[in-house]
Structure formats: C-alpha cells, structure tokens
Amino acid sequence: MLQVAQLECRRGDRLLFSGLDFEVGPGTLLHVRGRNGSGKTTLLRTLCGLYTADHGEVHWRGESIRALGEDYRRDLLYFGHLNGIKGDLTGVENLRLAATLDGDKADTRTVWAALARIGLAGFEDIPTRMLSQGQKKRTALARLILSRAPLWILDEPFTALDTDAVDLLQQLIADQVANGGLVVLTTHQEVPLTSGQACHLDLGR
Amino acid sequence: MLKVFWSVLHRDLLLAMRRRTDVLTTLFFFLIVVSLFPLGVGTETAVLRTLGPGVVWVAALLASMLALERLFAADFEDGTLEQLLLTDQPLVLLVLAKITAHWLLTGLPLVLMAPLVGMQYHLTDPAIGIMMAALLLGTPVLSLIGAIGAALTLGLRGGGILLSLLILPLYIPVLVYGAGAVELAAVELTATRPYLMLLAAFLLSSLILAPLASAAALRISIE
Amino acid sequence: MSSAWSKFASPSTFYPLAGRMIPVFWVLAAGSLLVGLYWGFFETPDQLGGSNAQKGYYRIIFLHVGAAWMSMWLYAVMVGWAAIGLVFNTRLSYMMANAIAPTGAIFTFLALWSGAFWGRPSWGTYWDWDPRLTSELILFFLYIGYIALHSAIDDARRADRAAALLAIVGLVMVPVIFWSINCPDPNQCAALHQRSGLGKVDGDILFAMLMTTLGFWMYAFATTLMRVRTIILTREAQTTWAAETIQAEVRS
C-alpha cells in the first residue's frame, strides 16, 4: 500500500539515508527505529510529502504521492513533534477545527465524546494554553479517535503522556491496525498488537 | 471546500478576538504614524493637503507590513501550519482564507479610519471618499502580495526586517496609484476613475496569482 | 532532459569546464572593454548626436548605458536560471542564479553611480526622480532582496528555492512597477513616455557603446563562473571529488 523506492534524504550537507526501499501493506504497524539524528523525523515528513526527498519516490496505492496530492492527504493523518493545537482555543474548538480540516465528522456530540475518551472530561472549555503538557498532547491525540484515514504517521506520539494515556494510545493504534489501517511511527515504546503484523525499519546503520 | 475556507477564516478571526491587543496595536500604529507627520512637517493646511495622501498610504503600507509578520508565523510555531498543509483541501484556498482574515483585521479598519485621518489633513469630502475607495481596493493587494513575503521569510531570524526589504518594493504600484487618486480628487474628481480601475485590476490579478505564490512559498519554507 | 545536458548539469563536470572557460572570458572582457573605451574616448564626436548640446562629459554613457542594460538583462537571466531550477530541480541552475545576483547588483549600482555623475553637469543635480533612475533604484532593491533572502536562510536547499520564487515574483511585478513609475498619472501616459531608439545614435558612439556592453557581458560570464565554482566547492565539500580538487589546488 505504502511503497518507498531508492529514497535518499539529506539535511544540509549531511546524508541521512540513501537507497531506502520498503513496502508495507494494510494492517501493518511499521516501527521506525534509529538513534537521535538518524533521520526518523525527516523520513516521516518525507512520507507525508512535507519534505521532498533528494532522490527516490514515495508511492501510495501504486501512485506517486506527488501526483496524488490532495487524494493522498485525504488518506493521511500526521502527528508531528508539535501538537498542532492553538493555545488560545479551547479543546472543543481545536478538535472541531482539526476534524473539519481532516474531513472527519465534527459535530458537537462526537467531539465531546472524543475528548471524554481521551481523558479530558471537564477540560473541554478551557483554552488549551492553560493545560499541562500531557493534556495538550491528549487534546491533539483526540484527532486519532475521530480519524477515518487509513494511514497514520505518528512521530513520537508517546512522549509526555502518563500511563493511562499510553494505554489508550496503544489501544487506538492496535485498533487502527486491526481494522486494516497502516501505522508508521517512531517511538521507544513497545506497541502490543491484537492482530495484524508489526515490522521494523532501522535507520542510521 | 467552502466549509474549510470558512472554518479557517473563522478560526483566525476568533483567535484575533482572543488577542485583541495585537489587532489594536496595528491600528494605533497607523494612527500614531499619521499623527506624527504634521508635527514634523508643520501644520499649514496647504502642506498637509499635499502630503496627506502619500502619508496615509505609506502609513497603511507599514501597518499592513507590521501585522504580516505574524500571518503564518504563529501557525508555524505551534504546528498548525503543518496540519493546514496536510489537509485534503487545496492549499491555495486555505492561504486565501488566512489572507482574508488578515485584511479584515488590518486593511478594513484602515478604510474605516480614513475619514478621521482625512480630517486631520484637512482633505476635502470628495478626496476622503476617493481615499476610502482607493484604500478599499488597495489594502487587499497589500495583504495578498505581503503574504508571499511572509511565507518566504517564515521562521527566519530577523524575519520582520527582511520581510519589509522584500515586499516594500513590490508595493510601489499600489502606493503610486492609491496616493495619486487621492491627490487628484482634490482637483478633479472624475479624473480619478482610471486610478481606481488600475487598483481594481491589481486587486483581481493579485487575487489570482498571489495565493498561488504564497502556497508555493509555504511548501518551500515548511521543509 | 537529454543525457548530454544532465552531464553538464552535474557540478563535478561543470567545475573543471568553468575553470577552463574563465580565462577566455577575462581576455575577451579586457579586449572589448579596451576597444570600446578607446573608441568612445578618441573616435567619437564631442557632441551627442542631433540637437543635444551635451559636451565631452556625455562620454560616461559608455559605462552608464552598458551597465544599465546589463543590470536588467542579468535580472532576467537570473530569473531564467531560478525558474529552470524550480522546474527541473537541478542544483547547478540555482547556483548559477545565485552567482549572477551580486554581479547584477554591482551593475545596477554602477548604473546609478555613473548616472549621478552624468546628472550633475547635465541636470544640475546628482539625483532626480526621473522614471529611469527610479526604476533602476527599485531594481537595485530587488537584487538586494534576493541576496538578503538567500543569505538569511541557513538550509541551502530552502534558500535556493525560496530566493528563486522571490525572483520570479519580482520579474512578474517588474513591468507593473516600472509602468507605475513611468506613468504616475494614467490620464496622460502617452505624453510622459520617453522614446528613444538606437537608430538615431551616431555610428561611432553606438559602436563604442556596444563594445563596452560586450565587455560587460564577458566580465559577467567570468565573475559568475568564478562564483559558481566557489559555490560548488562549498556545497560539495563532503564529496570525494571536491576534496581531491581542493587538495590539488592547495598543492599547486
């Protein structure tokens, strides 16, 4: 489903990786591993189309993501280092906006339910800049509950989360894989799967 | 598609309402710059009438520029810009929504403040009318062209200064015809028509081209 | 692109080729500038052609006109390379655009500077808001903007592409800007528009002007290629061929 051929990325003068080849199908968890600075984030951003590889291409369902453009982005959910939420907006406003932009259902009940499930009941109406780091991250991760995108690309989603939130996130990822979705992530956490397969990609060797 | 346009526009306006000082600072900057000139060049009616149109336009350019720096920078810092780039909607449309919000918050108030400033400079009523029309047509062009510079200088050190270096030369046509129209309005009202037509032409062409260039610039800058 | 082109588009092939071409361009530049200036100073009449009453000091034209032409052409050439870079994603094109900018800025400055010295005796002032002078000044700002943006961005790839986009936006805006400066009152544009043609110019003056312009072109080629070579070495410093080249040049 997601295929990468002869991918090469540089940052400035430094070669991060080259000749990278892999293909992952539906119902898979792809765990990208590597030391700090080995190019994990750059790889994920390249998979999203935010970064243009110096060489090689990324294909989604057999077509280049450049050519697919918006059709690819419809199938994609990216969660980066930055939470992507506005401190001046409340959790509900943030989530509703994110869902609208993702093309997901964004009615009041769904949004409130999602925030309750992620453990933010009682904090829905507070500007998110008042929340703790972990709570901000939870607000941002609530998008995963609403998402219908088959491809999730998650960059270090577990940092700053407490054990409850980690359990919930593991559950969400396992569900996504079990439902035939594809998850690409970087983490130092193990993610137990209920079904589907997990594979590893090691960078920086 | 329109739904996404509206939600981005609504979001930016809502954010501005929660940070009212940011918006008001720009407007007061405009007022102060315009009010300082008579103190510098003297308060004779004839002098003020000649200088008025140019001063108002230069102050409008600077005020618009001041707010441009934050146009994409705030979204860039908290990661929401990345998310905007990854939606399944055309980026051009989202950029246009953000530019519209910028204009509603900095351009439109300048148009509404024009009569006040006009009185400070003893402009005649028809001249004030033309000034409002010219600002109404010209300030969106400032926001549109400025957005390209804001996208190019995203996240750079000293981005604000650099932005003015890149964008101010591109503002010249709007300045020339915007100020020219107001100057002429005092002499012969009907002769200002070609000026306004030219400003309208700038508005239409930048409405089509500038969001494309800004979107391309954002994709380059976000890497 | 065909294979021959992509071969020359590779920095490692281009570097030695440019190195061989640079001396040729320097010789050509010196030769045509010498001929042009000699012809301009000694073989042209003391009066500018026709009813124009200017005396010997008009001879600054041989630097001024060439520099002004170059400043505009080089901007177009720079944008051309930048556009090729954006379309074909060839690194060498960006490097070319990047190397042309300082030369273009210098010619713009030279045109302004020589114009001021010509303006002093003929208009009685160093600076006047003449449309051509103002346009040249704006062009200077555009060059400076390009260079400033490029140097403000640390990441070479982003710098190349962002500056290229800016240059293209600049080129789109240039006709509008020049038009608005030339004709601040749209009600009477035709009357304001200055007309000039090369046909009316005295043959000797024209020859000298064209020779100095040719010399400027050759100078532009030489300096651009020199700058491109420096840029190539800086950017490719981590490759083996660049390291070997640097070592060889240090040794010799």
pLDDT of residue C203: 80
User: Token digits for A91?
Assistant: 């959790």
Write the residue in A51, A86, A93 that is nearest to B78 by C-beta. A86
Both structure tokens of C60:
């600054």
What would the two tokens of residue A147 be?
């998402």
**Per-residue confidence (pLDDT) for residue C45, from 0 to 100:** 73
Task: Tell me which DSSP letter residue A129 carries.
Answer: G
Q: Please determine, for residue C79, whether its predicted confidence score (pLDDT) is greater than 80.
A: yes
Strand partners, A9: A17
Tens-level pLDDT at each residue, chain B (223 residues): 788 899 999 999 999 999 888 889 999 999 999 999 888 888 888 888 888 889 999 999 999 888 898 899 999 998 899 999 998 888 999 999 999 999 999 999 999 999 999 888 988 888 899 999 999 999 999 999 999 999 999 988 877 889 999 999 999 999 999 998 888 887 777 788 889 999 999 999 999 999 999 999 999 998 8
- Chain A residues lying within 8 Å of B85, measured CB to CB: 50
Q: Which chain C residue lies closest to B177 (C-alpha atoms)?
A: C184
Contact C156 A12 (CB under 8 A): yes
- pLDDT value of residue C193: 45
Residue pair A88/B15 in contact by the 8 Å Cβ criterion: yes
CA distance C25 to chain B (A): 33
Helix axes A108-117, A133-146, angle to 10 degrees: 130
Place of tokens 């001041």: B66
**DSSP type of residue A90:** B
Residue A150 has pLDDT above 50, yes or no: yes
The dihedral sign for the CA sequence B51, B54, B57, B59: negative
Chain B residues with CB under 8 Å of C169 CB are 148, 170, 213
Whether C52 shows a pLDDT value over 50: the answer reads: yes
pLDDT in tens, A26-67: 888 998 888 888 888 899 999 998 988 888 889 999 888 888
Q: In three state form, how does the secondary structure of chain B look?
A: CHHHHHHHHHHHHHHHHHCHHHHHHHHHHHHHHHHHHHHHHCCCHHHHHHHHHHHHHHHHHHHHHHHHHHHHHHHHHHCHHHHHHCCCCCHHHHHHHHHHHHHHHHHHHHHHHHHHHHHHCCCCHHHHHHHHHHHHHHHHHHHHHHHHHHHHCCCCCCHHHHHHHHHHHHHHHHHHHHHHHHHHHCCCCHHHHHHHHHHHHHHHHHHHHHHHHHHHHHHHHHC
Give residues with Cβ within 8 angstroms of A19, minimum separation 6. Answer: A6, A7, A8
Q: Which residues of chain C make contact with A11, given a CB cutoff of 8 A?
A: 155
Report the gap between the CA of C187 and the closest CA in chain B (Å): 7
- Tell me what pLDDT residue C3 has: 56
Name the CATH code of domain A1-75+150-205 (choices 2.102.10.10, 3.30.56.10, 3.30.565.10, 3.40.50.300).
3.40.50.300
State yes or no: pLDDT of A83 exceeds 50: yes
Q: Which site among A45, A74, A82 would you substitute to test the B interface, given the most B Cβ atoms closer than 10 Å to its Cβ?
A: A82
Q: Average pLDDT of C121-132?
A: 79
Above 70 in pLDDT, residue C142? yes
The total of other beta-carbon atoms located within 10 Å of residue A45's CB is: 23
Q: Where are the domains of chain B?
A: 2-222
Please judge whether B173 and C176 are an interchain contact, meaning their C-beta atoms are less than 8 angstroms apart: yes
Q: What is the pLDDT of residue C82?
A: 94
Under a CB-based contact definition with an 8 Å cutoff, are residues C125 and B142 in contact? no
Q: What percent of chain A has pLDDT over 90?
A: 11
C169 touches chain B (CB under 8 A): yes
Nearest chain C alpha carbon to B198 = C186
**Using the 8-state DSSP alphabet, how is residue A197 labeled?**
E
The reported pLDDT for the residue numbered C49 is 54
Q: How many angstroms separate the Cα of A67 from the Cα of each of A58, B216, C42? A: 10, 16, 63
Of C162, C172, C177, which has the smallest distance from its Cβ to B217's Cβ?
C162
Task: Spell out the domain ranges in chain A.
Answer: 1-75+150-205, 86-149
Give CA–CA dist A53/A6, Å, rounded: 10
Closest CA to C10 of C18, B223, C150: C18
Which of C160, C235, C238, C240 to mutate to probe the A interface, most A CBs <10 Å? C238
Contact call for C155 and A11, based on CB within 8 A: yes
> What is chain C's mean pLDDT, rounded?
84
- ipTM attached to this prediction: 0.90
Q: Please state, in angstroms and as integers, the Cα–Cα distance from residue C73 to each residue in C30, C76, C138, following that order.
A: 20, 5, 15
Give SS3 for C121: helix
Helix H or strand E encompassing C61: helix C61-88
Q: Residue C1: pLDDT above 50?
A: no
Q: How far is C226 from chain A (nearest CA, A)?
A: 22
Burial, C124: exposed, middle or buried (Cβ in 10 Å; 0-12, 13-18, 19+)?
exposed
Q: Which two tokens mark C137?
A: 């000044």
> Could you give the 3-state DSSP secondary structure of residue C131?
helix
What residue has token string 């989603």? A157
In this structure, are residues C156 and B193 in contact, taking their beta carbons and an 8 Å threshold? Answer: no
| Strands, sheet with A14-24, edge to edge from the N-terminal-most edge strand | A14-24, A2-11, A55-60, A63-64
B53 touches chain C (CB under 8 A): no
* pTM for the structure as a whole: 0.89
Dist. CA B132–CA B107, nearest whole Å? 11
For residue C80, the distance in angstroms to the closest alpha carbon of chain A comes to 22
Put simply, the answer to whether C177 touches B169 (Cβ < 8 Å) is yes
Integer Cα distance of A20 and A58 in angstroms: 11
What is the C-alpha to C-alpha distance for residues C65 and C201, in angstroms, rounded to an integer? 13
Place of tokens 């001063």: B55
pLDDT tens, residue by residue, C179-199: 888 777 777 765 444 556 666
Would the pLDDT of C205 be above 90? Answer: no
Band the pLDDT of C239: cuts 50, 70, 90. confident
Per-residue model confidence (pLDDT) at position C191: 46
Nearest residue on chain B to A43, alpha-carbon basis: B223
Buried b (16+ CB within 10 A) or exposed e, B157-182: eebbebbbbbbbbbbbbbbbbbbbbb
Collapsed DSSP state (helix, strand, coil) of residue C155: coil
Which of A51, A87, A103 lies closest to B223 in CB terms? Answer: A51
- Tell if the CB–CB gap between A127 and B18 is shorter than 8 Å: yes
A130 touches chain B (CB under 8 A): no
A103 and B CB contact within 8 Å: yes
Is the Cβ pair B7, A87 closer than 8 Å? no
pLDDT band at C57 (very low <50, low <70, confident <90, very high): confident
Cβ under 8 Å to A: C residues 153-172: 154-156
B contacts of C172 (beta carbons < 8 Å): 209
Interface test with B, best of C185, C188, C189 (most B CBs within 10 A): C185
Name the band, by pLDDT with cuts 50, 70 and 90, for residue A80. Answer: confident
Which of B87, B95, B221 to mutate against chain A (most A CBs within 10 Å)? B87
- B135 vs C205 pLDDT, higher one: B135
Residue of A nearest to C238 (CA): A13
Q: Which residues of B touch A84 (CB under 8 A)?
A: 78-80, 82-83
pLDDT at C50: 55
The side-by-side arrangement of strands in the sheet containing A151-155 is A76-79, A151-155, A182-186, A28-33, A197-202
Nearest CA in chain C to A12: C155
Question: Is the CB of A76 less than 8 angstroms away from the CB of B18?
Answer: no
**Looking at CA atoms only, how far is residue C234 from chain A in angstroms?**
10
